[in-house]
Amino acid sequence: MSKSGAIFSGLGFSARDIFHDTSSGMTTSHTPFARPSRVSLISGFGCIYVVWGTTYLGIRLAVADMPPFLMAAVRFLIAGGVLYGFLRLRGGPRPQAARWKEQSLVGLCLVGGNAVVCWAEQFVPSGLTALAVGTAPFFMVIFSFLMPGGTRPSRWVVVGLLLGLAGLLILFGPGAFPAGQRPPSLRVAGLFISSAAWCLGSVYSKHTGSKAAPAWTAAMQMLAGGAAMLVVSVALGEERGLHLAAMTLTSWGAFTYLTVVGSLIAFPTYIWLLKHNPPARVATYAYVNPVVAVLAGWLILGESLQLRLFLAVPVLIGGVVIITTSGFKTRNAPEAEDSFSRRLSPAVQRGD
């Protein structure tokens, strides 16, 4: 078994799930996709819940010494290039031009979905950044419904979303910060725009109907997104603020973690989850990531734990539970049930 296969097997699902492509012209295996097991799904969600929760800390440490757009660009170009090269070495043919166009459109959303987060974290604590990105499920539901044949949220999904938004109001509403300690409004607004851009790309990725393996999809999206970020970085003149000799080992370590764990492992896992679940359910990572990010920021950077955090966390987690155990229906088939909730939480389906 290859090292990559061992990594994904360790997470609970086969590397074939990540690297297999059923579309013509990009086949890297001859075995069709297996139906995901409950263990695979739980492991996949656990990966993006925990790993992406810690990447907010990684970003905060990396941008201390690296310009934000340039850091994000190099991160994704390296990760995308390594993954693309690995897939080619496995015998996969070059993706067709139509596939590149399709995935590049999604990759462009990474500029808003990730690079803007890096830009905001220059001034916004990592825990609060993750909490602001908790608006992702709200945007996921909107974009999913607007897409042709998209999913219509059930009443309980709406309740879960409202709980999540209530948690955000506790965190950022009036009186949430002492005088002079509120993060810059423009940076906070950028986080919400980032959340919307990321969700738009995620929903579009799911609705393209592409049969490309998650690893191929991730590689193309990271390369396209990294190239776009580099253009933005050059336009802003960020290279003038980069001083490699002055970078600390902490920043280098954070950058390496973001590239290897956050991109090469977690991002293909995220794409795989989108292939097997409604986008709004996958977006529940945005409710769990803040808990991980707040704890990581507190343990490593000494970021403050205030009362509002303890009030908001159970509200946010309540939203996760409701959305995860509720059904989604397509507008063309309102009677359809979501298979994920049937397998992940059978007790809920029985009404226990």
327-346: buried (b, 16+ CB within 10 Å) or exposed (e) per residue? bbbeeeeeeeebebbeebbe
Let me know how long the chain is: 352
What is the rounded CA–CA span in Å between residue 344 and residue 350? 12
Instruction: For residue 150, give the amino acid letter.
Output: G
pLDDT computed for residue 254 by the predictor: 95
pLDDT computed for residue 257 by the predictor: 95
What is the rounded CA–CA span in Å between residue 160 and residue 142? 14
Model confidence pLDDT, tens digit, residues 30-52: 344 556 788 888 889 999 999 98
- Specify which residues 330 forms β-bridges with: 151, 333
pLDDT at 333 over 60: no
What is the rounded CA–CA span in Å between residue 222 and residue 59? 17
pLDDT more than 90, % of the chain: 22
Based on the number of CB atoms within 10 Å of its own CB, is 246 exposed (0-12), middle (13-18) or buried (19 or more)? exposed
The string of DSSP codes covering 22-35 is: -STT--S-SSPPPP
pLDDT computed for residue 207 by the predictor: 67
- Specify which residues 329 forms β-bridges with: 152
Coil vs helix vs strand at 233:
helix
pLDDT computed for residue 321 by the predictor: 72
What is the rounded CA–CA span in Å between residue 165 and residue 161? 6
For residues 102 and 254, the model is more confident at 254
pLDDT computed for residue 351 by the predictor: 33
- Specify which residues 333 forms β-bridges with: 330
DSSP 278: -
What is the rounded CA–CA span in Å between residue 136 and residue 116? 15
Q: Which of 156, 205, 160 is nearest to 329 (CA)?
A: 156
Coil vs helix vs strand at 122:
coil
Residues 6+ apart with CB under 8 A from 88: 94
pLDDT at 338 over 80: no
Give pTM, 2 decimals. 0.73
Q: Other C-beta atoms within 10 Å of 38: how many?
A: 13
Three-state secondary structure of 167-210: HHHHHHCCCCCCCCCCCCHHHHHHHHHHHHHHHHHHHHHHHCCC
pLDDT computed for residue 6 by the predictor: 47
In this prediction, residue 110 has a pLDDT band, given cuts at 50, 70 and 90, of confident
The string of DSSP codes covering 38-89 is: HHHHHHHHHHHHHHHHHHHHHHHHHTTTS-HHHHHHHHHHHHHHHHHHHHHH
Residue 11, both tokens: 């997470």
- Specify which residues 152 forms β-bridges with: 329
Q: Are 2 and 8 in contact (CB under 8 A)?
A: no
* pLDDT, mean of residues 226-245: 93
